[in-house]
Chains A and B, each alone.
Chain A
Amino acid sequence: MKKAYLGIDIGSISTKGVIINEENEILAQCYLWTEGNPMNASKNVLHELKSQFDAANSREEYKIVASGTTGSARKLVGSMIGAQVVKNEITAHAVGTTTLHPDVRTILEIGGQDSKIICVENGVAVDYAMNTLCAAGTGAFLSSQAHRLGVEVEEFGEIALKAKKAAPIAARCTVFAESDLVHKLQVGCPKEEIIAGLCKAVAGNYLNNVAKGKKIVAPVVFQGGVSKNAGVVRMFEEELGMPVLVDENGHLMGAFGIAVLAKESQDERAFSFDVADMEFKTREVTCGKCANHCEIICVYRDGMLIDSWGNRCDNGAIKQQ
């Protein structure tokens, strides 16, 4: 039997899963909405991966020997599926992208809540930066502005490309951008120019803020939800004066990267899809042992406490049953 590796990326908006073989080829993949329930979403991802795996009769050929989780609910799902590797999404993305694009030098990423830049040399991340303050200029910002304009955010890219010029809009802060936007609407600025302006603002804000002081070297790969927006891609290309590559599998990069990391860990343990049918529950306990009032998360599998975290000090440590 050949070895295979599972990776799940549980983000605030979407959950992604892949199974890869030792050659880093994707055997099965899945992408669906998290819908605020990371445990359910992960179970659904597992079900889907299992049926793809079964359909290709891969279960006879491959055995999953290691798994990894990443994304905001990585800890929870990690203890749920007993993952060997639980890592943050920055590392997972860097590893995933450099595995698929060994020559990449700069990875731009704008997601729903945050944005980051990763500088790569010889296939290894050597420097990175993340947005520091608020969600200005991220996917959440674009969605809220789309809502205000009465346009679906998915249409943004297409509309923006139609504009002759981009209206000047500042994206430093959501509040200010909104007042700019309202003003532009009031003076009768065409919608596509405003949308192009928003795309430009997102790219400009990113370069001014997240990427400040970092040298952007080609080849550049652009990832994250906002990379699906052709308007922003074009603005990046214009500002940087170099082509910006968007991988069609970009959305799977985190899951792919964490699967690669699971493989690299060489910590092997048979994985069973049975966990997708077990019952998991979480409970939040407020620790009263000091004024920090830490929120401790406890995870139960079929009624048994299997993990807990969230305590700042040892006073709040919960003993496993």
Chain B
Amino acid sequence: MIQTIGIPGGLMIHRDGVLWKNFFEQLGFHCVTSRKSDRQILEQGTERAVDETCLPFKMYLGHVMELMGKCDAVFIPRMGGFKTREKMCTRYEALPDLVKNIFRDEQIPVLTVSYDWYDRTTEEKVYLELGDKLGKTKKETKKAYIFAKKQQEAWLKSREKAQNQLMEKEGTKVVLAGHPYVLHDAYMGGELARILEKMGASVLYTDYVDRDSALKKSYDFSRVMPWLINREIIGALMALRKKADGIVLVSAYPCGPDALVNDMLIRRIKDLPVLSLTLDAQSGTAGVETRIESFIDIIKYQKAGGYGTKN
């Protein structure tokens, strides 16, 4: 019997976590989330991951390990994407099977939803299936889904609103552009916001915007780009750039989609200073700090009319 569901505090929890948690709780389950990312979580995840895999995935494995013995099942969604041009990185297709193979000896019970773009399904449908798997009626599940979706939207709306207010303020504004699970992870992108704010810059996030309109805008940038999250990032950038003084592209090493898309972005964005950062497994924020500092200096000089003038 599943009573407690564990939600690993990595990857898409930073985008869809509110939905997941509310959905399960509405259905009467107890949810536990692993603690915020830290070095130890990363280290234990790294121990089990294939060396070449990306930093956020290593972190995710660490979070899964944190939940062992603390829940009856771990929720590991398999998200392929809902549309051909709005897919996820292929790692998300592998996620539940991947975790099961890596922790085969530990026999972790995995709970999942699964969808692919070729299934022609919807989010509501897959969550209805999940409710069915958990032994809930269609009516209960539907109610829980609608409630959870509303909570999720309200959560995003409040962040969007706060960000819109920030945008109207005076001063240097920098967009942090990247996958939500890199930007908001305490051990990865979390540091960057702190550094930027310390230097007096306001931080705008690419995931605190209206997702649908960002997605729609992204098609002006590329009709063929296959990835949902990169589309959301690009759509948001196109909306935020008008108010921003600079863009920091944040990627975690090695990210397949970012490797190509960020290269394209750097080629295309000519009117704003862009700093491209690739985060590796190290705690060494010293190097990053220096680079951000000089980037902010450049922005300030430019605002003041070029080098040599007072800022």
Contacts and interface: CB of A to CB of B under 8 A. Distances in A.
Nearest to B282: A176
Contacts of B282: 170, 172, 176, 179-180
A185 to B, nearest CB: 13
Interface in A191-241: 208-209, 212
B47 A170 contact: no
B47 A176 contact: no
Interface string B241-285: 000000000000000000000000000000000000000111110
Contacts of B69: none
Interface in B27-86: 46-47, 50-51
B contacts with A: majority SS: loop
B287 interface: yes
B286 interface: yes
A176 B280 contact: yes
A208 B51 contact: yes
A170 B43 CA distance: 10
Given A170-B281, A172-B281, A176-B280, A208 B286 contact: no
Nearest to B280: A176
Contact of B284 (A132, A179, A208, A209): A179
Interface in B73-124: none
The winner among B280, B282, B283, B287 for most chain A CB atoms within 10 A is B282
A165 interface: no
A284 to B, nearest CB: 34
B50 A212 contact: yes
A208 B42 CA distance: 13
A174 to B, nearest CB: 12
A172 B253 CA distance: 13
A183 interface: yes
B50 A176 contact: no
A170 B284 CA distance: 11
A183 B284 contact: yes
B50 A179 contact: no
Contacts of B280: 172-173, 176
Nearest to A213: B50
A176 B287 CA distance: 10
How big is the A interface, by class?
10 to 19
A84 to B, nearest CB: 38
B281 A180 contact: no
Contacts of B284: 176, 179-180, 183
The winner among B46, B51, B287 for most chain A CB atoms within 10 A is B51
A179 B286 contact: yes
A170 B282 CA distance: 7
Contact of B287 (A170, A172, A179, A212): A179
A156 to B, nearest CB: 23
B46 A208 contact: yes
A169 B52 CA distance: 19
A235 to B, nearest CB: 15
Contacts of B287: 179
Contacts of B46: 208
Nearest to B48: A212
A180 B284 CA distance: 7
A173 B286 CA distance: 17
Contacts of B50: 212
A215 to B, nearest CB: 11
B102 to A, nearest CB: 10
Given A179-B286, A179-B287, A208 B281 contact: no
A35 to B, nearest CB: 34
Contacts of A179: 282, 284, 286-287
B286 A183 contact: yes
Contacts of B283: 180
Nearest to B102: A213
A209 B287 CA distance: 25
The winner among A170, A172, A180, A183 for most chain B CB atoms within 10 A is A170
Interface string A111-145: 00000000000000000000010000000000000
A212 B46 CA distance: 11
Interface string B191-220: 000000000000000000000000000000
A209 B286 contact: no
Contacts of B281: 170, 172, 176
Contacts of A208: 46-47, 51
A183 B287 CA distance: 11
Interface in A69-90: none
Contacts of A209: 51
Interface string B284-304: 101100000000000000000
A60 to B, nearest CB: 55
A172 B49 CA distance: 13
A184 to B, nearest CB: 11
A170 B46 CA distance: 12
A212 B61 CA distance: 15
Contacts of A183: 284, 286
6 contacts: A176-B280, A176-B284, A180-B282, A180-B283, A208-B51, A212-B50
Interface of B: 46-47, 50-51, 280-284, 286-287
Given A172-B282, A176-B282, 16 more contacts: A170-B281, A170-B282, A172-B280, A173-B280, A176-B280, A176-B281, A179-B282, A179-B284, A179-B287, A180-B283, A180-B284, A183-B286, A208-B46, A208-B51, A209-B51, A212-B50
Q: Which 6 residue pairs are nearest across A and B when measured between Cβ atoms?
A: A176-B282, A179-B284, A209-B51, A170-B282, A208-B47, A172-B281
